[in-house]
RNA sequence: GGCAUCAUGGCCGAGCGGCUAGGCAGAGGUCUGCAAAACCUUCUACAGCGGUUCGAAUCCGCUUGAUGCCUCCA
């Protein structure tokens, strides 16, 4: 029986601002759409946090036995909304700077994005559509919106008529705004625009002569507005109404608000049942951003090549650090926090690996079923990963107590303990064990170290501590730490 | 200016009216030839001021501070 029949999941819905019991439109299947990256530069850690937050959602839904169709787009056409002269399609701009084709830019950073996600052990989405691959669908949606009377065209461009839409709908219901306030607050800024109202947003923009990315349409040679692609692709792959729509907090307004307006304009119903917004990863207390340079790249983190970092951190540690905060909380990136997370991460992994050392008894003195459920309770409460991790450390405590034989466990319960630890650490959190020797796959090295350990033990038996300490300390110097335990000496690479 | 969110112990972070997570650091201990590692135990908090309540970190109001959005942004 699928787990989702016995576990009740609650999701915080941004639009109702409440945790709601999750119930998908189609029994046992979930449709989820997440706004993906704009591929005109390398993704930074802030971008990664959002995608890792939704990777957790994806993984947990799958773990619960749902069939999930996870759609995450690649924005490979620059979106342009305003008509100020400083605005320029970021992809076309980057293409000019690097003197290459726009699609070359797109390709380069798409590859980077995929490689980065793979290093974080994030699962690929079920469908990863591109904006440029769905121009026809976007044009069709514009035609329908015009037909419904919620859009108008001016000089080859088409704009969504927010004022008209707001007469029979509520534009701003997701972000808690209302049109009257927005109008009164922006009146002073309204310059010479071809839009009827500053709040109107572009569905189609006529391309000027220098604009590289352009497509033919009934209105002009141009390109689609930036809110349109998500409506086109989510509708195409998930239907007019689907279960979960996610994205970064910064996309709530105007992007997601506009998606709602576009969908409601043509389908007359709300497109999404559960809106989820992942919060920002900050650096120095400020949001990471590509434009301001206030960001840190995954590659810098993995290599340690950044003045903010005292050392390199593995992708698993970075992920663990992020999951120690709930996805709806702002999280500040710092070396201190990473160092602390790394130690906790190693403790968790070491304990997991030592489960095999536990011996079984006739009776269990600990209630493993209650503990197991508390892990699920954490995730069922709006994917509360920090609570889950706290529960996993309870599991660590159980493991250590059992190893010391201060508690007993049956074979069946031990299997539950191991399966639960494994399921949550590797399947749900998607952590990887980067510290183990397998990644290095270096039998020669471990053979040499084993020899040194043997020599050291001989010296110790002969009370030749000068020799034994030299072996220990010199190995430490090159980053190999010996660990003396009851069962003999082991080692780890740092 | 408008809208929204947040303020928790040395640090990072849960918490959503009573039972006061977890990690890191600190302190004590076990083990050890000495260490390290590992493990066990342990300390401390809810921005300020009012209010509601038998009882508030948790609800309400005000004050202060911070952040996000209102322009591309995960």
CATH of the domain at A273: 3.40.50.620
Read off the pLDDT of each residue in A387-398 and give the average, rounded to a whole number: 96
A338 and A197 in a single domain? The answer is: no
Average pLDDT, chain A: 90
Q: Nearest CA to the C1' of B30 belongs to which residue?
A: A404
Question: What is the 8-class DSSP label of residue A130?
Answer: B
Read off the pLDDT of each residue in A349-370 and give the average, rounded to a whole number: 92
A441 compared with A341, residue with greater pLDDT? A341
Return the closest nucleotide (C1') to the Cα of A338. B12
Q: How confident is the model at residue A322 (pLDDT cuts 50, 70, 90)?
A: very high
Quick one: how far is CA A14 from the chain centroid? Answer: 17
Distance between CA atoms of A421 and A392, rounded to whole angstroms?
A: 7
Return the closest nucleotide (C1') to the Cα of A354. B38
A262 and A344 in a single domain? The answer is: no
Q: Nearest CA to the C1' of B38 belongs to which residue?
A: A485
Residues A466, A469, A470: CA angle, nearest 5 degrees: 80
For residue A305, what are the domain limits? 282-428
A331 and A247 in a single domain? The answer is: no
A224 and A316 in a single domain? The answer is: no
Alpha helices in A156-270 (DSSP H): 162-168, 179-186, 228-238, 257-267
Residue A86's pLDDT is what?
A: 46
pLDDT surpassing 80 at residue A93: no
Residue A159's pLDDT is what?
A: 95
pLDDT surpassing 80 at residue A59: yes
Q: Are A265 and A161 in contact (CB under 8 A)?
A: no
Q: How confident is the model at residue A473 (pLDDT cuts 50, 70, 90)?
A: confident
The closest alpha carbon to A13, from A246, A260, A270, belongs to A246
Q: Summarize pLDDT for A16-39 with one digit per residue, the tens.
A: 999 999 999 999 999 999 999 999
Distance between CA atoms of A331 and A337, rounded to whole angstroms?
A: 10
Residue A88's pLDDT is what?
A: 67
Residue A326's pLDDT is what?
A: 96
Q: How confident is the model at residue A357 (pLDDT cuts 50, 70, 90)?
A: confident
Q: Nearest CA to the C1' of B68 belongs to which residue?
A: A250
A263 and A291 in a single domain? The answer is: no
Q: Nearest CA to the C1' of B25 belongs to which residue?
A: A340
Residue A94's pLDDT is what?
A: 79
A266 and A286 in a single domain? The answer is: no
Return the closest nucleotide (C1') to the Cα of A492. B37
Residue indicated by tokens 């033919």: A216
Read off the pLDDT of each residue in A440-465 and give the average, rounded to a whole number: 84
Q: How confident is the model at residue A186 (pLDDT cuts 50, 70, 90)?
A: low
A272 and A202 in a single domain? The answer is: yes
Last residue of a domain, one of A278, A307, A338: A278
CA distances from A175 to A45, A77, A474 (A): 25, 25, 60
Alpha helices in A268-409 (DSSP H): 298-303, 315-323, 335-353, 368-380, 385-403
Q: Nearest CA to the C1' of B40 belongs to which residue?
A: A401
Return the closest nucleotide (C1') to the Cα of A486. B31
Distance between CA atoms of A159 and A203, rounded to whole angstroms?
A: 5
* A400: CB within 7 A of chain B nucleic strand: yes
DSSP E strands in A413-464: the ranges are: none
Helices and strands (H, E) in chain A, number of each type: 17, 15
Return the closest nucleotide (C1') to the Cα of A490. B37
A38 beta partners: A75
Q: How confident is the model at residue A209 (pLDDT cuts 50, 70, 90)?
A: confident
Q: How confident is the model at residue A191 (pLDDT cuts 50, 70, 90)?
A: low
Q: Summarize pLDDT for A132-150 with one digit per residue, the tens.
A: 999 999 999 999 999 999 9
A230 and A338 in a single domain? The answer is: no
* A246: CB within 7 A of chain B nucleic strand: no
Distance between CA atoms of A171 and A162, rounded to whole angstroms?
A: 7
Domain count, chain A: 3
Residue indicated by tokens 């593995």: A314
pLDDT surpassing 80 at residue A441: no
State what percent of residues in chain A have pLDDT above 90: 71
Read off the pLDDT of each residue in A198-209 and give the average, rounded to a whole number: 90
Q: How confident is the model at residue A437 (pLDDT cuts 50, 70, 90)?
A: very low
Read off the pLDDT of each residue in A413-439 and give the average, rounded to a whole number: 84
CA of A446 to C1' of B4 (A): 55
A105 and A141 in a single domain? The answer is: yes
pLDDT surpassing 50 at residue A79: yes
CB atoms within 10 A of CB A474: 11
Specify the length of chain A in residues. Answer: 494
Q: Summarize pLDDT for A169-185 with one digit per residue, the tens.
A: 999 999 988 898 888 87
Distance between CA atoms of A360 and A395, rounded to whole angstroms?
A: 16
CA of A142 to C1' of B33 (A): 81
Q: How confident is the model at residue A84 (pLDDT cuts 50, 70, 90)?
A: very low
Report residue A32 as tokens.
């989820």
pLDDT surpassing 80 at residue A187: no
Q: Nearest CA to the C1' of B32 belongs to which residue?
A: A484
CATH of the domain at A421: 1.10.730
A233 and A365 in a single domain? The answer is: no
pLDDT surpassing 70 at residue A351: yes
CA of A261 to C1' of B2 (A): 21
Last residue of a domain, one of A253, A278, A303: A278
pLDDT surpassing 60 at residue A259: yes
Distance between CA atoms of A72 and A127, rounded to whole angstroms?
A: 7
Last residue of a domain, one of A221, A245, A278: A278
A169 and A265 in a single domain? The answer is: yes
* A482: CB within 7 A of chain B nucleic strand: yes
Q: Which range has highest mean pLDDT (A79-93, A277-291, A480-494)?
A: A277-291
A355 and A387 in a single domain? The answer is: yes
Q: How confident is the model at residue A438 (pLDDT cuts 50, 70, 90)?
A: very low
* A475: CB within 7 A of chain B nucleic strand: no
Q: What are phi and psi of A212, to 5 degrees?
A: -75, -45
Residue A230's pLDDT is what?
A: 96
DSSP E strands in A249-406: the ranges are: 272-278, 281-283, 286-287, 331-333
């Amino acid at each position: 029986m699928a787990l989702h029949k016995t576990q009740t999941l609650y999701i915080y819905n941004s639009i109702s601002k409440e945790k709601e019991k999750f119930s998908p439109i189609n029994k046992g299947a979930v449709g989820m759409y997440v706004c993906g990256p704009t591929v005109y530069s390398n993704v930074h850690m802030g971008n990664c946090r959002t995608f890792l937050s939704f990777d957790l959602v994806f993984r947990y839904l799958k773990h619960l036995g749902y069939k999930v169709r996870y759609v995450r787009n690649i924005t490979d056409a620059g979106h342009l909304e305003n008509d100020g002269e400083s605005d320029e399609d970021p992809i076309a701009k980057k293409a000019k700077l690097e003197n290459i084709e726009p699609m070359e830019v797109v390709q380069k950073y798409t590859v980077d994005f995929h490689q980065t996600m793979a290093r974080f052990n994030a699962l690929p989405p079920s469908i990863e559509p591109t904006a440029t691959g769905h121009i026809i669908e976007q044009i069709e949606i514009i035609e329908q919106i015009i037909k419904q009377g919620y859009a108008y065209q001016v000089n080859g461009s088409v704009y969504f008529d927010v004022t008209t839409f707001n007469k029979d709908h509520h534009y701003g219901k997701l972000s808690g705004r209302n049109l009257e306030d927005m109008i009164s607050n922006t009146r002073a800024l309204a310059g010479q625009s071809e839009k009827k109202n500053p709040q109107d947003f572009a569905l189609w923009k006529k391309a000027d002569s220098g604009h590289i990315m352009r497509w033919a349409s009934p209105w002009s040679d141009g390109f689609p507005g930036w809110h349109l692609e998500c409506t086109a692709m989510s509708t195409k792959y998930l239907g007019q109404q689907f279960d979960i729509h996610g994205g970064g907090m910064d996309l709530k307004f105007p992007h997601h608000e506009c998606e709602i307006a576009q969908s409601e304009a043509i389908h007359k119903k709300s497109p999404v049942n559960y809106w989820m917004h992942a919060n920002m990863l900050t650096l120095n207390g400020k949001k990471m951003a590509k434009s301001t340079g206030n960001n840190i790249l995954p590659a810098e983190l993995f290599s340690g090549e950044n003045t903010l970092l005292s050392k390199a951190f593995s992708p698993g540690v970075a992920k663990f650090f992020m999951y120690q905060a709930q996805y709806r909380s702002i999280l500040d990136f710092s070396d201190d926090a990473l160092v602390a997370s790394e130690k906790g991460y190693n403790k968790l992994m070491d304990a997991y690996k030592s489960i095999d050392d536990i011996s079984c008894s006739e009776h269990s003195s600990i209630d493993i079923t209650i503990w197991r459920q508390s892990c699920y309770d954490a995730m069922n409460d709006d994917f509360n990963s920090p609570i889950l991790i706290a529960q996993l450390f309870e599991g660590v405590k159980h493991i250590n107590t059992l190893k010391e034989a201060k508690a007993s466990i049956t074979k069946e319960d031990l299997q539950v303990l191991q399966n639960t630890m494994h399921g949550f650490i590797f399947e749900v959190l998607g952590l990887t064990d980067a510290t183990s020797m397998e990644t290095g796959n270096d039998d020669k090295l471990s053979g040499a170290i084993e020899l040194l350990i043997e020599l050291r033990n001989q010296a110790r038996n002969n009370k030749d501590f000068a020799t034994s300490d030299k072996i220990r300390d010199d190995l430490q110097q090159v980053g190999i730490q010996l660990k003396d335990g009851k069962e003999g000496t082991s080692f780890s690479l740092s």
